[in-house]
A and B are shown apart, each in its own frame.
Chain A
Amino acid sequence: MQLSESKAILFNKLFERDVCIRCILRLFKITEISTYRETQQFIQLLFDVGKLIGNENKLVEEYDFLFYKRKAEILDSDVQPQTCHSSLKDQFIKNPFHTFDKINKCVVCHGILQCVDDQKFIAILVDEIQKKQYQFEAFKFQVKTPIGCQIRQIIIVNQCISEIGQIDPLYEYIRTPNFATDIKICVKWIMCSLLSESLKVPSDANDDRFQICLNFENIGDDVKQFEQFKKIISDIDDQMWEEKITKKLKMNDPQLKAETHNRLMQKKNQQSQPFLPTQSNLEKISKLTNAQISSYKIVNVNYPVKLEVSTSYQNIFIKGNYIKLGRYISQTPWIIDGNKIYEDSIEDLVSAEACKIFKPSSVKFHSGGREDIDVRMLGNGRPFAIELVDPHQGVLNQTQEILNQIEAKINSQNVVKVTPLSYTDTNIFGELKNSETNKVKAYCCVVECKNAINADLIEQANQIKDLVIKQKTPIRVLHRRTQMVRDKIIHSLLIKKINEKWLLVYVLSSAGTYIKEFIHSDLDRTVPNLCSLLQNECDIYQLDVIKLYEKINEAVIFDFKNLDIECGCKI
């Protein structure tokens, strides 16, 4: 770092005010990483500064080399866990940063930049991360710091510069908001290499798979720091608000004007809240002039800094098609009042094995549509995807062999089977949605008729093509679905007689058609329906979904008409 006399004077002032060396370097916007890391060079720096201010040894004598700042008495804070506000009590709990509570703290960073390269701290941190048992090859490092640090920065810089009393272009630069290097970046510079040494994996900012996030928080101090500014900011806000409502008060009658003004004023005051430490409030404070800021003080360090370490791994998506061979298996676990209504569910059966291998925190099941509980899903299967959220053992297991293993395990149970699985990503959601709304489906059902069957009408029904039916929301789902009329298309029918009163009906229809209601007419709320086509009273016995097609065309209809033969039903 190149020193000039004005720099040295400011350096000395900040040093006297208990700012740690790393924070001073930040305020001068030093971006050379080694300057922050090579702490043994700090003494030389202090010596050089001392020379320029005319007293070589002053700063060196006052230096506390353990904490990179001036020696100071460690005062007992006046806030204790017993006396603080209940919402802030959790700042006193034991967390990885707890051991650094009673130290010689810098007034700006509260110990964060002073302790991040402490061997003990790194050891505790590494321990925390390894306890969570993740498998990873590299990590991405994220840091969050308390917002109050920036306020303290602004205040102390302004105070020091006004105390010096000289006008200097350098000081004007330093005073501009957001000039200083951010604390987060410094933490990353210092910690990345240390962490990667201890964890024995490289740190890579472009590798999104495994993320370690350090969240330093100090809400108690932040709230106190921001509270000071409440009056002045609300005065400025009031002024801006007055300007904003001049448009609404463009009326000549003074009484009406006063009334409207009062009404708007009441509305504004209703929304008044405490001045919270947020990013938007920080920006308002940075806009204050230097003269205004100089009247504020730094609040004494009262609360300890709390650190939360969180880790996460990128979600893994697996897709495939499933078929359902049995009935009374729900799509997802159906639980009412803590009781499982149906024992098995497709979600459980399909994702159990994957969960054992990948060990995710949770799993989500997505499918392209669903079928009723008592309906089988056959043929080429329904597309689905499982999302393994935050898998702990993701790295080495993302291979095709593992997928084959999972598939074999699921298929061996003979209840639900899956097609060859593959890995995918978030694009699968578009595909699933598309499948739900656009695919054409073939069903097979067993239908009983009340009266004798008319063979001519059956012939007629077999000839229909693209019949448009209007379905009102079926009564059985009316309690949870919107009441409306849905237009659906029956592309083709294939009806075969089983005996005098029983039929086997194949239906080819657009996505989302309620087949049961088409057959039994749902008290004539679905028209036209099979009862009207066959002039008979029909009811459905059982239903299977046989095949899914991409979209309707001649080839599909041809294939559909031959499904009877393909399925091998013997009548």
Chain B
Amino acid sequence: MQQLEEPQVEEQQQQQGQDQDDDLMIPLNVQARLAEFTDRYFVKSFSEHQYVFQHSNRLYLSGINKNHPIVKSDSDIKEIEFTQKEQHVKGKKKKGGLKVKSDTVMLKVHLENGEVYNVVAGQDGYIIEMNENLQKNKQYLKQYPETKGFVCIIQGCRK
């Protein structure tokens, strides 16, 4: 019971032929570049300036995409204003979340050069979580809009 099996590195190389599967947590195909975390689990859909990624467990991740003027602008972010009141969800069923429509304004972003942009929710449903990191690390919104700088996590409407 004390011995470990064959080293993992060798085992991987034997499984190169296996295809990548959306349901797999970790792809076993070593040769292909490991996809970004967001590519592995999420189905991505983009609108003009924003995106909505749907996880395989049907939760939505929403934010601005790299074509958004905030990202493209030279000016840094001065302030991010959360326009909606903070509401905490409780329990496994995530009760108490703020109900939003896809055009509800979630953030007002003020740039150094004075421009102001509204960021909308992007998906109908209930907010589970706003990205709290944006309060301390404003630059995430600009530097990593499609990963660490996401805006919120939304639970779709129950059928």
B142 to chain A minimum Cβ distance, whole angstroms, is: 15
Please report the number of residue pairs spanning A and B whose Cβ atoms sit closer than 8 angstroms.
102
A533 to chain B minimum Cβ distance, whole angstroms, is: 16
B94, A378: Cβ atoms closer than 8 Å? no
A481, B92: Cβ atoms closer than 8 Å? yes
B140 within 8 A of A: yes
- Taking CB atoms, residues of chain A closer than 8 Å to B55 are 475-476
- Taking CB atoms, residues of chain A closer than 8 Å to B37 are 520, 522-523, 539
* Given known A448-B34, A480-B92, contact A475–B61 (CB-CB < 8 A): yes
Interchain CA distance A446-B92 in the complex, whole Å: 32
B143 to chain A minimum Cβ distance, whole angstroms, is: 12
* Given known A476-B41, A479-B58, A524-B133, contact A568–B7 (CB-CB < 8 A): yes
Who on chain A is nearest to B147 by CB? A523
B1 within 8 A of A: yes
A478 within 8 A of B: yes
B9-46 vs A, CB cutoff 8 Å, 1 = contact: the mask equals 10010000000000011101010001011100100000
* Given known A325-B5, A478-B59, contact A372–B129 (CB-CB < 8 A): no
Contact partner of B34 (CB less than 8 A), chosen from A479, A539, A567, is: A539
A323 within 8 A of B: yes
A540, B153: Cβ atoms closer than 8 Å? no
Task: Tell me which of A156-164, A213-221, A541-549 binds B.
Answer: A541-549
B8, A544: Cβ atoms closer than 8 Å? yes
B128 within 8 A of A: yes
Interchain CA distance A544-B4 in the complex, whole Å: 10
Interchain CA distance A412-B20 in the complex, whole Å: 31
A349 within 8 A of B: no
Contact partner of B25 (CB less than 8 A), chosen from A374, A569, A570, is: A374
- Taking CB atoms, residues of chain B closer than 8 Å to A2 are none
B8, A419: Cβ atoms closer than 8 Å? no
A483, B94: Cβ atoms closer than 8 Å? yes
B25, A498: Cβ atoms closer than 8 Å? no
Interchain CA distance A144-B7 in the complex, whole Å: 63
B89 within 8 A of A: yes
A381 within 8 A of B: yes
B12, A541: Cβ atoms closer than 8 Å? yes
* Number of A positions contacting B (CB below 8 A): 48
- Among A417, A446, A543, A544, which residue has the most Cβ atoms of chain B within 10 A? A446
Interchain CA distance A250-B94 in the complex, whole Å: 44
Contact partner of A323 (CB less than 8 A), chosen from B1, B128, B153, is: B1
B92, A378: Cβ atoms closer than 8 Å? no
- Taking CB atoms, residues of chain B closer than 8 Å to A481 are 92
Contact partner of A542 (CB less than 8 A), chosen from B12, B36, B57, is: B12
* Given known A372-B25, A540-B26, contact A567–B4 (CB-CB < 8 A): yes
Who on chain A is nearest to B4 by CB? A567
A570, B1: Cβ atoms closer than 8 Å? no
- Taking CB atoms, residues of chain A closer than 8 Å to B128 are 478, 483
- Taking CB atoms, residues of chain A closer than 8 Å to B8 are 444, 446, 504, 542, 544, 569
A569 to chain B minimum Cβ distance, whole angstroms, is: 4
- Taking CB atoms, residues of chain A closer than 8 Å to B131 are 523
- Taking CB atoms, residues of chain A closer than 8 Å to B2 are 379-380, 566
A353-394 vs B, CB cutoff 8 Å, 1 = contact: the mask equals 000000000000000000011101011110000000000000
Q: Which DSSP category, helix, strand, loop or mixed, fits chain A's interface?
A: mixed
A479, B4: Cβ atoms closer than 8 Å? no
Who on chain B is nearest to A374 by CB? B25
Interchain CA distance A373-B91 in the complex, whole Å: 25
Interchain CA distance A372-B25 in the complex, whole Å: 9
B50-82 vs A, CB cutoff 8 Å, 1 = contact: the mask equals 000001111101000000000000000000000
A93 within 8 A of B: no
Interchain CA distance A480-B128 in the complex, whole Å: 12
- Taking CB atoms, residues of chain A closer than 8 Å to B110 are none
Contact partner of A498 (CB less than 8 A), chosen from B9, B91, B94, B129, is: B9
Who on chain B is nearest to A525 by CB? B133
Interchain CA distance A516-B41 in the complex, whole Å: 13
B128 to chain A minimum Cβ distance, whole angstroms, is: 6
B148 within 8 A of A: yes
- Among B8, B36, B133, B153, which residue has the most Cβ atoms of chain A within 10 A? B8
A374, B24: Cβ atoms closer than 8 Å? yes
A378, B5: Cβ atoms closer than 8 Å? yes
- Among B7, B56, B59, which residue has the most Cβ atoms of chain A within 10 A? B7
Residues on B facing A (Cβ under 8 Å): 1-5, 7-9, 12, 24-26, 28, 30, 34, 36-38, 41, 55-59, 61, 89-92, 94, 128-129, 131, 133, 140, 147-148, 150, 153, 155
Mind listing 22 A-B residue pairs with CB under 8 Å? A374-B26, A376-B5, A378-B4, A379-B4, A381-B1, A446-B8, A475-B55, A475-B59, A476-B41, A478-B128, A479-B58, A479-B155, A482-B91, A520-B37, A524-B140, A524-B148, A542-B12, A543-B26, A566-B2, A566-B4, A568-B7, A569-B4
Nearest first, the 3 A-B pairs at minimum CB distance are A567-B4, A479-B57, A569-B7
Q: Can you add 12 more A-B contacts, CB < 8 Å, to A372-B25, A479-B59?
A: A373-B25, A374-B26, A378-B4, A446-B9, A475-B59, A479-B58, A483-B128, A541-B26, A541-B30, A566-B2, A569-B9, A571-B9
Residues on A facing B (Cβ under 8 Å): 321, 323, 325, 372-374, 376, 378-381, 417, 419, 444, 446, 448, 472, 475-483, 498, 504, 516, 520-525, 539-544, 546, 566-571
